[in-house]
Amino acid sequence: MPTAAFTTLGCKVNQYETQKILESFEAQGFEIVPFDSPADVYVVNTCSVTQSAEAKSRQTIRRAARQNPNAIVVMTGCYAQFTLRRGETLAEAHLVVPNPDKLRTVEYVLEHFPHLKAQLEQARQRGETPVRRRSRAVLKIQDGCNIYCSFCSIPYTRPVMRSVPYQDVLEEARAMVADGYREIVLTGVLIGDYGAATGSGGPDLAELCAMLTAIEGLERLRISSIEPTQVTDHLIELTATNPKMCPHFHIPLQSGDSRVLKAMNRPYDQAFYLELIQRIRARIPNCAISTDIMVGFPGEDEAAFQNTCKVVEQVEFCRAHLFRYSPRPDTPAEAMRDQVPEPVKSERIQQLQQVAKAAARRYAARFIGTTERVLVESRSKLSGLMTGTSDHYLQVEFAASPSLAGQLVHVRITDLTPDGVLGELVALQ
């Protein structure tokens, strides 16, 4: 049967939409394979939040075309929409699906490439059904942002604040669990804004999490990204006491320098951020904290950059996504003076990568000798071992049967790997 592979650039909302696209391919009878495997169709859900995100989108499309020169490479998402608007083409992309139509990608593919439709029909006649492996599902509960960070165009494109009614969230979550997912990741543009004022029908984010964890069969709940000012004591307490809540918060830092944060129009300073992390870890020792950091924002001098490095060292983020600042059209930062030269940004990104990597290794080393609950995902092409994500967001590699994909298991952590940890399977859940 025809195979399809998917990858996402950019935010968790994009990930949620990729999952929806993937499910629609599966419903048509495509076998879903990892993106680094040969596939008949590659779908790249692109991002245009920065120039580097656009460059990565192009690189990913080219990589897909190289992996299987006979494959159909499909591009959708924000960068795809930009290329349509600007009349640009990318030779390696055989089909560009407009962003508003992305959830209909499979229809576009079958309409433009009828031979795939015929192959699916033949597979159906032979009685072949795709193997379905479920692990983590992304569930979007909120849309819109009204923070207006000076570098970001999202509040101009998604200004309406909207929470998905809690009954709909619960219904979708139950369907995901019935479909075999063990972990749900909640996502939205400004997820901490979830609440009655924007249409939830009652619960705020912590209350919604409590309702979700009561769903039988759901083993883990994770929050994708939450602004520092929106992490409430109730949410921390729930995470500390409810075993289904992953001890992990993704809290964007963006800069560790209070002056730069002010210029970014971020509503907190360095002291607030550090105090929040301290409060979380006082209640949840070893709580995983991941983050996003922007390097080279206008006015970021060496001292400001060093402040960011210091926060990274101090917090020991389990993972830090580093972005190079690039001006987005019609944002206040575009017109700011003191733009940082590109070579300086490159140097700082490299330096910060080293600092973040060392800090992440120190964080991971805390778990050597302990046992972590791991959701098994896939086999690593490099090591041949199975890989999965632990409650504390560690990437764990261990010897196990591929049939465990989608299961929760207990793994004793024995050592560090370049990007995570190594372990030994001790028990099934």
Binning the chain into helix, strand and coil, the percentages to the nearest 5 are 40, 20, 35
Asked if residue 154 binds ligand SF4 (CB under 6 A), the reply is yes
Give me 200's structure tokens.
């939830």
Asked if residue 260 binds ligand SF4 (CB under 6 A), the reply is no
The angle at the Cα of 132, spanning 130 to 133, to the nearest 5 degrees, equals: 145
Among 152, 295, 396, 421, binds ligand SF4 (CB under 6 A): 152
Q: Taking a C-beta distance cutoff of 8 angstroms, is the pair 369, 189 a contact? A: no
Q: Which one of the spans 36-44, 145-153, 354-362, 375-383 is the region binding ligand SF4 (CB under 6 A)? A: 145-153
Burial 133-169 (b: 16+ CB within 10 A, else e): eebbbbbbbbbbbebebbbbbbbeebeebbbbebeeb
Asked if residue 155 binds ligand SF4 (CB under 6 A), the reply is yes
Among 33, 44, 80, 149, binds ligand SF4 (CB under 6 A): 149
Residues 6+ apart with CB under 8 A from 325: 50, 151, 294, 295, 296, 297, 298, 300, 333, 340, 345
Asked if residue 148 binds ligand SF4 (CB under 6 A), the reply is yes
Q: Which one of the spans 152-160, 199-207, 267-275, 414-422 is the region binding ligand SF4 (CB under 6 A)? A: 152-160
Asked if residue 189 binds ligand SF4 (CB under 6 A), the reply is yes
Burial classification of residue 398, based on how many CB atoms lie within 10 Å of its CB (0-12 exposed, 13-18 middle, 19 or more buried): buried
Applying CB under 6 A, what is the total number of residues that bind ligand SF4?
A: 10
Asked if residue 333 binds ligand SF4 (CB under 6 A), the reply is no
Our CB check for ligand SF4 shows the closer of 226 and 396 to be: 226
Our CB check for ligand SF4 shows the closer of 228 and 388 to be: 228
Backbone angles phi, psi at 244, to 5 degrees: -80, -15
Asked if residue 263 binds ligand SF4 (CB under 6 A), the reply is no
Asked if residue 145 binds ligand SF4 (CB under 6 A), the reply is yes
Site string (203-232) toward ligand SF4, x via CB under 6 A: ------------------------x-----
Backbone angles phi, psi at 221, to 5 degrees: -130, 135
Q: Which one of the spans 93-101, 140-148, 162-170, 270-278 is the region binding ligand SF4 (CB under 6 A)? A: 140-148
Asked if residue 404 binds ligand SF4 (CB under 6 A), the reply is no
Binding stretches for ligand SF4 (CB under 6 A): 145, 147-149, 152, 154-155, 189-190, 227
